[in-house]
Structure 1
Amino acid sequence: MKFVAVTSCPTGIAHTYMAAEALEQAGKAAGHVVTVETQGSAGTDMIDDATIAAADGVIFAADLEVKGRERFAGKPTVDVGVKRGVHEAAKVIEEAVAAVERGVPAGAAAAAPAASGPSTKVDANAGVGTRVRQWLMTGVSYMIPFVAAGGILIALGFMLANVAWGGAEGAIEVTAVNQADVWAHFEWGNLQHWSVLLLGAGQIAFGFLVPVLSGFIAYGIADRPGLVPGFVGGAASVAVGAGFLGGLATGFIAGFTALWISRWKVPKGVRGIMPVVVIPLLSTLFTGFVTLVVIGAPIAGLMNSLESWLNGLGGNQLVLLGLILGAMMGFDLGGPVNKVAYTFAVTGLATQGLTADAAQYKIMAAVMASGMVAPLAMALATTIRKRLFTEAERENGKAAWLLGASFISEGAIPFAAADPLRVIAASLVGSSVTGALSMAMGVTLVAPHGGVWVLPLIGNPLGFLVSIVAGVIVSALIVVVLKEIRYNKITATSPTDAAVTAA
């Protein structure tokens, strides 16, 4: 059979492309042809209409609403989450074959409406906990590009400032410059002006962080009516100093307020102005009032306490924090726990007036270093003990070198899916070691992503690399030892089974 598939994940990075590869390989193994359209953060590589027309069935492995869904209308369809596309690709292919054999249900030929706004996917039938996570991930997925762009621009601005001012004090000098004067009298050949430009552009991008987080949480809850009150609530949170915690709160307040108002039963004459006047006006007024008058000050106080606590942490306390954050990064490899630790780190970068060795920068370094350990460890393990891994795992190990070096924790997912107990145990220990060592050596990072490719932006790059290498070795040794024990048990029971396992 011929299938077309669409894959997408909330961040549009690793899971999107891993699901595509898994479905293609599973289809080939079962004797089918699977053509995949990846709707990732880098854009959509669209399947041509002729391929869609020739397909027997459609597979949607997506955690966001599929763009252009109407193109696939009228064909038997399987709709699953992106993680099933990664972990259970063969089973998804079987379900797609069964759907084709059943045929198209009556009435299914009508084209589905095209998505009219930004992509999101929240399962209305899921439990409360799952929906809350999906709402949060909607906000985080749209926030991350602002964080990445802004963080790297700020880091480049500081780097250039150190060159322009001839020393480490450049990072201090560039923040003291009146940016408006530079914009008014910009000199193309002046490195100091360029450093101010990079810093200013990055700070502007960071200024959108909380409003975007709040706005798209509200969008996930209420669809388009939630955008205006969500963005305004996020901006109000910034204005009163409530930061990202305030943005989380305003996202939910705005979303549920807009959802409630949008369900009002109103006369027909009023329906036309509800979406453009009534809903945004009332929901924004309520969200703004609650943020500015009721919850803003308490949350701002909590944020100030959190900042003071972080800045007051001593060496041993920072090491313990690094160990905990490292364990979170290594636990579910890009899942909710991993994203909580990452979001905690990147939102800390938006704190104003940080010194070069601020705890927030140390946290970001520890989180990124820890997140690189699992895929690199699996790549190393498949290199030093090939017989303990299948041919597919050895091939995945080759790709994991690049994924790990680029800070894409999801590169270890194929290994965790095949052997979760041993791989996750090894990942937890190795990532914890890296997080603790990074903190102990005072590594700092002002960029939110990039892996080894942003090494020039890292304070104490040697310490960064040492902490990663240590965690990778520990994690690789643990997984090899655990798999060796299992292999020896199989050998003792049945040498034939051991040979099959090794193959």
Structure 2
Amino acid sequence: AAAADAAAADGAPAVATNLVVDGRPARIVAVTACPTGIAHTFMAADALTAAGQKAGIDLVVEPQGSSGYKALPQSVIDDADAVIFAVDVDVRDQQRFAGKPVVRVPVKKGIEQPAELIDEAVASVGNPLAPRVRGNADTAAAARAEGGSGGGVGSAVKRSLLTGVSYMIPFVAGGGLLIALGFLLGGYKIAFNADDVLGSATLWNLGDTSLIVYLGAVLFKIGFLSFGFLVPALAGYIAYGLADRPGIAPGFVAGAVASFMGAGFLGGIVGGLLAGLAAWWLNSLDVPWWLRGLMPVVIIPLLGSIFASGLLLMVLGGPIAWLTQALNDWLSGLTGAGVIILGIILGLMMCFDLGGPVNKVAYAFATGNLAAGIAGDERYLQIMAAVMGAGMVPPLAMALASTVIDRKLFTEPERENGKAAWLLGAAFITEGAIPFAAADVFRVIPAMMVGGAVTGALSMAFAVTSKAPHGGVFVFFAIDNFWLWLVAIAAGTVVAAFAVVGLKRFAHRRPVEPVSSGAEGVPSAVATA
């Protein structure tokens, strides 16, 4: 109470009694991280920071984004009363927070429920039963021991898969855009004669090759080689998500073996999981002290690679390669309604959780097979175009609804978010719709899914292809039938925008009459429709 009075006297927000520790406002540090390290990461950081300021407590956030992160000063961490991990991937350098009470949740909760997370974190201070950050780095075992979203094998596997996708995306995005630029400069034949061009010409001696074609070959080759790391990076960082650094080497080797076997990204997933589990088990063994130093640099890479890659080469690689080829044959045989149904499914997945795990499954499926599309199978290029187009619909639709169709249905902050969502949608950043979904999930998400399904179906029906994995309208040069693709996106955007406006107008939230529990001291439940 004294702290609250002092805060009020200074003009700062009054601090609730339950947020006071040792007579002062609570001190909380938080880490936010999502698979792509772009939108969710920073939106959660902003939401937690705003909630901390509103509550009048000392809360500092470390967003661990795709471009790296600025580590919090160790003195700030040491002075903190508790830690919030709002993450979908493993926390980097987690041992810095060792011993602190921790609340670990998916990053989406950091966006939607920041105040509740602060309450939970402060409540954990002084509670001897509260989960605490372990000192043995970012392993799945530590996450499970801490509880929260790391509370089970399924959660650990999910987190490791998202970690793998997170680290794979830069290879896909950078490599895909380089390939697209190579096509722009060197023409589409550069995919088949890049080696000949680079073998017969140099920057100082072009011979019969034009400078533009030569530069196109250079860009294409760099992008193509970047794509070669796609499956190994996926497998390596899946293993990293399960076993921390000891899993990286066995995981990369397993990914390379999956590529060699023709098992594709499915083989990379299986190989990464096998390598991660093997490395985690080996690292958990109680070995003599004189052997402990050799474990991460010799024993675990050796035995982990033998186990995971050996299983792929001798047992699992063949069946997975057969399954991959069967999937390719099925996609190649799709015509008419089958193609449209596939587009609908992909569109629904892209809009289901606005950048979450389901969205990432659809995106990983498209990008994981993009190399096959560039090699000549245009069906995969159509899938890439459908996925990117559907992913652009939610922010564009919410921008249209909140700034053009019916501004009165939205709050002032939502209208401001709507202005920014135009650019986010155009750039294929699906997460631009999250502020709207967080405030009204049951009316926004269904409307977005309908619009995404429309765009996915039309994109596939129009046979639009994309050789770029990201960039939205800004990679127009890599998209065939670009104007038809815009028509598909516009149709889905309009449908989703009018759907969300209609739901907000006519599907009102209705309070349900309180139902007494009949038990003394237990509050009655109030539900909303």
Q: Among residues 177, 180, 194, which one is paired with 2:196 in the alignment? A: 177
Q: Among residues 404, 407, 416, which one is paired with 2:428 in the alignment? A: 407
Alignment of 1:379-418 (within 5 A): 379-383=399-403, 384-418=405-439
Distance (Å, rounded) in 1 between the aligned partners of 2:252 and 2:78: 41
Distance (Å, rounded) in 2 between the aligned partners of 1:304 and 1:141: 26
Classify 1:69/1:192 alpha carbon distance in 2 versus 1 (closer, same or farther; 3 Å): same
Classify 1:291/1:318 alpha carbon distance in 2 versus 1 (closer, same or farther; 3 Å): same
Distance (Å, rounded) in 1 between the aligned partners of 2:116 and 2:173: 36
Distance (Å, rounded) in 1 between the aligned partners of 2:142 and 2:221: 34
Partner of 1:374: 394
Alignment of 1:233-272 (within 5 A): 233-272=254-293
Classify 1:487/1:304 alpha carbon distance in 2 versus 1 (closer, same or farther; 3 Å): closer
Query: What is the DSSP-based 3-state SS (H/G/I as helix, E as strand, rest coil) of the residue aligned with 1:143?
Result: helix
Partner of 1:361: 381
Q: CA deviation at 1:104?
A: 9.1
Q: Among residues 145, 158, 163, which one is paired with 2:183 in the alignment? A: 158
* 2:241 is the alignment partner of 1:220: yes
Deviation readout 1:276-306 (Å, 9 max, x if unpaired):
3222222212323222222222222222222
Q: Among residues 162, 171, 183, which one is paired with 1:146 in the alignment? A: 171
Classify 1:232/1:72 alpha carbon distance in 2 versus 1 (closer, same or farther; 3 Å): closer
C-alpha RMSD of the superposition? 3.3
Distance (Å, rounded) in 2 between the aligned partners of 1:53 and 1:264: 31
Classify 1:118/1:91 alpha carbon distance in 2 versus 1 (closer, same or farther; 3 Å): closer
Q: CA deviation at 1:26?
A: 2.2
Partner of 2:343: 322
Deviation readout 1:350-408 (Å, 9 max, x if unpaired):
227633x7011110000000011111111211122222222332232223222222212
Distance (Å, rounded) in 1 between the aligned partners of 2:362 and 2:247: 27
Moved more, 40-49 or 426-435: 40-49
Partner of 2:62: 37
Deviation readout 1:31-83 (Å, 9 max, x if unpaired):
44644332201222455678768877654433344445566678776544322
Classify 1:183/1:122 alpha carbon distance in 2 versus 1 (closer, same or farther; 3 Å): farther
Distance (Å, rounded) in 2 between the aligned partners of 1:423 and 1:54: 41
TM-score (normalizing by structure 2): 0.81
Distance (Å, rounded) in 2 between the aligned partners of 1:107 and 1:474: 47
Partner of 1:210: 231
Partner of 2:107: 82
Query: What is the DSSP-based 3-state SS (H/G/I as helix, E as strand, rest coil) of the residue aligned with 1:407?
Result: coil
Between the two proteins, the alignment pairs up a number of residues equal to 479
Classify 1:300/1:79 alpha carbon distance in 2 versus 1 (closer, same or farther; 3 Å): closer
Q: Is the 8 A contact 2:99 2:135 kept in 1?
A: no
Alignment of 1:33-182 (within 5 A): 34-47=59-72, 59-67=84-92, 78-98=103-123, 102=125, 115=137, 122-123=143-144, 126-162=151-187, 170-171=189-190, 174-175=193-194, 177=196, 179-182=198-201
* 2:488 is the alignment partner of 1:463: no
Q: CA deviation at 1:338?
A: 0.9
Classify 1:438/1:228 alpha carbon distance in 2 versus 1 (closer, same or farther; 3 Å): same
Moved more, 298-307 or 327-336: 298-307
Partner of 1:496: none
Identity of aligned residues (%): 53
Letter in 2 for 1:63: D
* 2:496 is the alignment partner of 1:475: yes
Q: Is the 8 A contact 2:183 2:190 kept in 1?
A: yes
Classify 1:57/1:248 alpha carbon distance in 2 versus 1 (closer, same or farther; 3 Å): closer
Letter in 2 for 1:371: G
Q: CA deviation at 1:484?
A: 0.4
Letter in 2 for 1:134: R
Distance (Å, rounded) in 2 between the aligned partners of 1:267 and 1:52: 33
Moved more, 232-241 or 122-131: 122-131
Query: What is the DSSP-based 3-state SS (H/G/I as helix, E as strand, rest coil) of the residue aligned with 2:372?
Result: coil
Partner of 1:494: none
Q: Among residues 26, 35, 43, which one is paired with 1:10 in the alignment? A: 35
Distance (Å, rounded) in 1 between the aligned partners of 2:94 and 2:290: 33
Query: What is the DSSP-based 3-state SS (H/G/I as helix, E as strand, rest coil) of the residue aligned with 1:7?
Result: strand
Q: CA deviation at 1:171?
A: 4.5
Q: CA deviation at 1:475?
A: 0.4
* 2:44 is the alignment partner of 1:19: yes
Moved more, 336-345 or 396-405: 396-405
Partner of 1:341: 362
Q: Is the 8 A contact 1:143 1:213 kept in 2?
A: yes
Q: Is the 8 A contact 1:242 1:303 kept in 2?
A: yes
Letter in 2 for 1:464: W
Distance (Å, rounded) in 2 between the aligned partners of 1:467 and 1:189: 37
Q: Is the 8 A contact 1:147 1:206 kept in 2?
A: yes
Moved more, 117-126 or 173-182: 117-126
Moved more, 201-210 or 30-39: 30-39
Unaligned runs of 5+ in 1: 163-168, 491-503
* 2:203 is the alignment partner of 1:190: no
Query: What is the DSSP-based 3-state SS (H/G/I as helix, E as strand, rest coil) of the residue aligned with 2:30?
Result: strand
Distance (Å, rounded) in 1 between the aligned partners of 2:186 and 2:106: 45
Letter in 1 for 2:390: S
Letter in 2 for 1:37: E
Q: CA deviation at 1:7?
A: 1.8
Letter in 2 for 1:161: G
TM-score (normalizing by structure 1): 0.85
Query: What is the DSSP-based 3-state SS (H/G/I as helix, E as strand, rest coil) of the residue aligned with 1:442?
Result: coil
